Structure 1
Amino acid sequence: MRQKLSFASLLAIVACLVALDYGWLNFTQTIDLRVGDLLLEQHAKTRKANPDIVIVDIDQKSLEDMNEVASKWPWPRSIHAELIEHIAAQNPSAIVFDVMFNEPDTFGTESDALFKQVVAQHSNIYFAHTLLQDGNSSALSALPASVGLIKTPNAKPTARAIMMLPSVLERDSWRGGLINFQQDHDGIGRNYLLHENIDGWLIPSLPWRLARDLKWQPIEQAQIRLNWQQQRTHISYSAVYLDANTEHPSRAQNEFTNKIVIIGTAAPGLQDLRPTPISQSYPGVEILATAIDNLKYQDWLRDTPRTPFAIAALLLASLLAWGFQKGRNTLHLATLLLIASALFVSAVWLGLKQYWYLPLAAPIAWAWLYFWLAALLSYLAEKASREHAIAMFSRFLDARVVGELISSGKIDLSKKAESRELTVLFSDIRGFTTLSESHPPEYIVELLNRYFSMQVAIIFKHGGTLDKFIGDAIMAFWGAPAHDEQHANRAVAAALEMSAAVQRFRQELQGLNAEFDVGIGIHTGPAVVGFIGSDSRLDYTVIGDTVNLASRIEGLTKGVARVLVSEACMQACQQHNTVYEFIARGTHQVKGREQSVQLFEPQVKS
């Protein structure tokens, strides 16, 4: 009962922790995120990026190829102006710059002027905006309509924000949105902000701005969980620019038609790299492209609230608690939990396929936590039980034998008393009364201790179980707790060695003027053996008629033989190739039995 209560108490503790986790602290949310990251990384490999969203990449190749034309980065804005004209001629859906234009061109005002002029001619060019923590704030109400702010009914006229805008352009050309990197508490970016609410003013992100302007299916939520894809094909900036400026261009003249063209950089040296589930250094332009792709095709990942999944954690822990309480094999429970873990991971994977993000990793983590704690508790309980068993059985058996029986699992403290065939031995001292009357009590106690120690050592030597001392008598039995087909032969062997030991012991008592001898009676038969007694006091003992008859046989040894066995004991020995011969010592009437009993004296065959 104590062990069951312990498992129940452990379940209650885990349940409280789960309630704190899912109701307030969210300390296992990181587990959900990290497992989700691993699956998302694999899932992304199965999703092809849509070809109508193209990245013109300012990559390392472009930085090298453009040295002669545009010198080192940043290039003159006139270079971008030329590229815009080339791409715009192919009628793309939109041209998106993932590059900031907030400072004057270092190559002079003419370059900026050309850039402004070209941008102003097109209504489908979008620029990156960012919200900053430090700097000069601007009144949101004073920003031009091109920024795309949405004024809600709760908008405050005094609202201000620190924004980095493409200030080198005319205000009417500030068309665009935020590209702020949104990271979770562990620094990993998994979501994309669609709009920022500042005092009732909604500042759009660049993907959301595109979705609104291009009339994609509307979405009003503040952020989306990105559904990552295989990295889309990047076209080198220099490849497009240099080909456009050759006399005979070789690239297709419609490669950007009806496409969203994002101009940005994945070059490591330009530092636009962010930690994501896909990579610790994922190009910012690729994150932007993924968000745009998800919005256009409505296939971002839908979040599910964490709280309901606490039920899964509690259910798994409860099933484990039930299994441990029922004494199920720990390895079997671990195997079942592994199967459950695999099923949960499969559910997360299938959820990703259906555009759902299921936080099922934490419930599995809670289940494993309960499993290991319960396994430890079970181990400690088993260890305590084994130590208790050793302490209990060491009263009746040799300690080395007890250790072997416990380790082999042949002793079970919880097993009820049972009937089995045993051999019972009674040994009683003759002449003890005379000794006790003629010597001090201290001497008699010391003498008995020496005698009992000698005889018990012999009983243990032959695999016997000490039942009890009854005054100056010894009761022992063979055949329990471990089953032993040779129990009768072992009992006879112990009796003969005990007889020889008495003979030696008598020599030590010469001069005491007292007779000292023993009588040993042995009988084989059915008896009930096990822990018998009350809740407060249990003894491992044997009861039944076999015990009574063995005691009676011991009483008949006087004047007949030091060791006498019953016919049943003799037959049990003979069934197992005994090394003893049995000399008949007559038929005797035993008190309490109608039929007389034939007795035999065992001797080693000559």
Structure 2
Amino acid sequence: MSLSRQLTNPLTLIALAVIGMVVIDAMLLGLFQPLENFFGDRMLRIHAAEQIPDPDIVIVDIDEHSLAEMAAEVGRFPWPRSVHAELVEGIARQQPRAIIFDILFSDPDLMRLEGDDYLAEVLSRESHMFLPMLRLTDGNDAGGLSLGEHGRRLGIMAGKAAVEDARVAMVLPLPALIKQGHLGAINFLEDEDGVGRRYAIDIDAYGWSIPSLPATVSRALNYPVPDQENIQLSWRGERLSYRRIPYADLYQDLQLQRSQRPINELRDKIVIIGSTATGLVDLRVTPIDNAYPAVEILATAIDNLKRGDYLRSVPKWISPLLAVLMVLLFLFGFRRLHSPLKVGFRLALFTPLLMVAAYVALDSYRLQLPLFAPLAYSWLFFVAAALYSYLNELRARQRSIAIFNRFLDPRVVGELVDHGETVFDMRGEKREVTVLFSDIRGFTTLSEQSTPEQIVALLNDYFSRQVKVIFHHGGTVDKFIGDAIMAFWGAPVDDPDQAVHAVTAALEMSEALLAFRESLGESGTEFDIGIGIHTGPAVVGFIGSENRLDYTAIGDTVNLASRIEGQTKGRCRVLVSEETRQRCGELFDFHDHGSYKVKGRAQEVRLYEPRRS
């Protein structure tokens, strides 16, 4: 097929239309992104269920139980800062690797200022204390913190393009606490659908890098920190999967003279003090849960950096490229297999295999592949191409039925069409056939006594009777030539007994003639026919133009059958050749009429008259 015909092929046009949708969607619309996120999140949940949180990360949890237990002793939350100071003192005695607050101490406790001083004093003695801050993205930066003046003291580093007089709106811990602790931002990064899948490493602000709290902790503990803006989180289990110690239980135990808890349960641990209580509304939407505690998101980010197993995202152009390649692959499949069912089976098999491959990439390489859009576009192309193929096949089937019905028994037509044969499958082939020619005798006298309308009606009646006989014996009606009939056996359906069927049909056509003559009365006494039959090779198939195709047989066999029919005049009604007689065996009595010279043949032809045994 030439390139121009390939490009204008309907299946190619469907593929190009789908590819156009891929490009437009990738550049402008993002129609499949919500579904990509949905299925990606489902895979993340499945993967997370098999992941074990780092046992060295422990959350001291301000949970519902702690809020109730502490209410009678220190009042409702927020508790005095002295309570947190006492807790830190007790934890520090066990020599943890780090103590991290997921609580913003941004405002002074005006009713209990001594508590703020006590907390500042305790933090000043600890070298591995970490406190959160918050970058206000919707704040008034113009009235915010001067980065040139205070940024470096907060751990905010200037990049090459840093604006020296830049100001940033931020929520910071109390100044007394800033002096003692390492700081990091705890901004929640959410995608366009409101789901948090990533955690910041460094937040850019006018060329300054504001470190996140997980990044600050990791750098202080000498964990490798990637040189990128954020990481895609690799989740661990369901919500509340990290080891948690209720705040109240730990605090109350530390007040005892003799601890009831293990003496060094927090030794060398990374301790995060935060809340999972629903009432404190520190919950976020994540792929794992719609109410995921922010403190566990922080724990997950530190866990990922500690192990270095955060997820890697592929470039955005990978998804549309994969979609285009898959559409082209299945376009090739349609052209190669010529069967929507076979292509659909391969696509149905390919879909789960690709999902398994995506899961293996996620589990083994921490690589999240965007596969929904490529699969969706592949199925879209398949449905459109399969629908076109079905409608095209339906049209071809209907056309084939209409054409086949002109020269075949409807039962044979059904068999051919059910096997998928079309007019395009039978363009021409050499086969052995048995050709029958039948011509009318004595028709001139009858036509002189009838009107044109009567002649047409008479011929239609006669042809209908004879075609019925031919069809009954499996013959193919080639054409009507004036008042003559040409038929053959052996194509398009193979017939090993083609000669027997052709001779039987000729004898029944003779009998049908007698019945037809009786219907004509005295006017039909001179109405007769001659039938000639010959068996031999011929080229059979559809011949004609695009708008007019006829299934016919051509060759010397056809010409000889016609000449034999001409020899019946004055001799008998049916004559067959030596080749046909031999293929009939002993099923008929054949009367030998001798050899005759026929036009177009140098050698004489021996002819026989068949009679029923």
CA contact (8 A) 1:344 1:361 kept: no
Counterpart residue number, 2:86: 82
Secondary structure class of the residue paired with 1:189 = coil
C-alpha contact (below 8 Å) 1:58/1:265 kept by paired residues: yes
Give the Cα separation in 1 of the matches to 2:549 and 2:526. 37
Aligned to 1:236: 246
Matching of residue 50 in structure 1 with residue 54 in structure 2:
yes
What is the match of residue 574 of structure 2? 563
Aligned mate of 2:464, from 448, 453, 463: 453
- 1:223 is aligned, of 227, 230, 238, to 230
- Is 1:251 the counterpart of 2:255? The answer is no
Question: Which residue pairs with 2:289 in the alignment?
Answer: 279
CA distance in 1, matches of 2:343, 2:70: 64
Contact 1:552–1:590 at 8 Å: present in 2 too? no
**Secondary structure at the residue paired with 1:280?**
coil
CA shift, 1:182, in A, is 1.2
1:68-107 to 2 correspondence within 5 Å? 68-102=72-106
Q: Is the 8 A contact 1:146 1:173 kept in 2?
A: no
Paired position in structure 2 for 1:206: 213
Q: What code does the residue aligned with 1:462 have?
A: H
Cross-structure match for 2:557: 546
Alpha-carbon distance in 2 for matches of 1:96, 1:235? 14
Query: Per the alignment, do residues 211 and 267 of structure 1 end up closer, same or farther by CA in structure 2, a change over 3 Å counting?
Result: same
Q: Deviations for 1:486-539, whole angstroms, at most 9, x for unmatched residues?
A: 433433343333333322322332354772122223333332211124555432
Say whether the 8 Å CA contact 1:14–1:370 is kept in structure 2.
yes
Aligned to 1:474, the other structure's residue is in SS state: strand
The within-5 A match list for 1:154-553 is 154-156=161-163, 159-167=166-174, 172=179, 175-230=182-237, 231-308=241-318, 310-337=320-347, 341=351, 344-345=354-355, 347-352=357-362, 353-410=364-421, 413-510=424-521, 512=523, 515-534=526-545, 537-553=548-564
Measure, in 2, the Cα distance between the counterparts of 1:400 and 1:100. Answer: 86
Give deviations 1:20-40, integer Å, cap 9, x for gaps. Answer: 344555544555544443443
Counterpart residue number, 1:591: 598
- 1:602 partner SS: strand
In structure 2, give the amino acid aligned to 1:181: F
- The count of aligned residue pairs is 600
What stretches of structure 2 of length at least 5 have no aligned partner?
none
Q: Helix, strand or coil: the match of 2:45?
A: helix
| Distance across 2 between alignment mates of 1:484 and 1:267 | 85
Assess, with a 3 A threshold, how the Cα gap between structure 1 residues 264 and 378 changes in structure 2: closer, same or farther. same
Q: How far off is 1:540 after superposition?
A: 0.7
Q: Is the contact between residue 225 and residue 305 of structure 2 (CA under 8 Å) also seen in structure 1?
A: no
Give the one of 14, 17, 31 matched to 1:13.
17
SS state of the match for residue 424, structure 2?
coil
Match of 1:6, as an amino acid? Answer: P
**Aligned-partner residue type, residue 284 of structure 1:** A
Q: 1:419: Cα distance to partner?
A: 2.1
Letter in 2 for 1:587: G
Distance change >3 Å, CA 105–CA 491, structure 1 → 2: farther
Q: Distance in 1 between matches of 2:386 and 2:45?
A: 34
Q: CA deviation at 1:407?
A: 1.0
Q: Secondary structure at the match of 1:299?
A: coil
Amino acid at match of 1:163: M
Return 284-293 or 211-220, whichever deviates more: 211-220
CA deviations 1:146-193 (Å, max 9, x no partner) are: 643334454446644443334596554675322222122233222112
CA drift at 1:12: 2.8
TM-score, reference length from structure 1: 0.87
The 3 A distance-change label for structure 1 pair 590 and 71 is: farther
Instruction: Tell whether 2:145 aligns with 1:140.
Output: yes
How far is the alpha carbon of 1:129 from its aligned partner? Answer: 2.6
- Identity across matched positions, percent: 47
1:395 Cα deviation after fit: 1.7
**1:370-422 Cα shifts (integer Å, max 9, x gaps):** 33333333333322222221222122123453233201235562344122222
Find the residue that maps to 2:521 and give its secondary structure: coil
Work out the CA distance in 2 between the residues paired with 1:387 and 1:339.
Answer: 32
Task: Report deviation, 1:446.
Answer: 2.6
Distance 1:544 1:62, change over 3 A: same
- State the shift of 1:470 in Å: 0.5
Q: What is the CA–CA distance in structure 1 between the aligned matches of 2:235 and 2:568, rounded to whole Å?
A: 94
Q: Distance in 2 between matches of 1:530 and 1:430?
A: 30
**Distance of aligned partners of 1:283 and 1:392 in 2 relative to their CA distance in 1, 3 Å threshold:** same
In structure 2, how many angstroms separate the alpha carbons of the residues matched to 1:382 and 1:70? Answer: 81
Which whole-Å deviations, capped at 9, do the CAs of 1:83-117 have from their partners, x for residues lacking one?
Answer: 11111222223221223334565985555554455
Secondary structure of the equivalent of 2:234?
coil
CA gap 1:145/1:447 in 2 versus in 1, 3 angstroms = same
1:602 corresponds, among 604, 607, 611, to 611
Query: Distance in 2 between the 1:584 and 1:514 partners?
Result: 25
CA distance in 2, matches of 1:322, 1:340: 15
For the 8 Å contact 1:146–1:174, the answer to whether it is kept is: no
1:420 and 1:476 map into 2 onto residues whose CA distance is 15
Code of the residue aligned with 2:256 in structure 1: it is T
The letter for the 2-side match of 1:526 is: P
Aligned-residue offset at 1:296: 3.0
Between the aligned partners of 2:347 and 2:518, the Cα distance in structure 1 is 68
| Cα drift, residue 471 of structure 1 | 0.7
Kindly state the Cα deviation for residue 208 of structure 1 after the two structures are TM-superposed.
2.0
Q: Which range is displaced more, 539-548 or 526-535?
A: 526-535
User: Which residues of structure 1 form unaligned runs of 5+?
Assistant: none
**CA deviation after TM superposition for structure 1 residue 469, in Å:** 0.5
CA 135–513 in structure 1, closer or farther in 2 if over 3 Å, else same:
closer
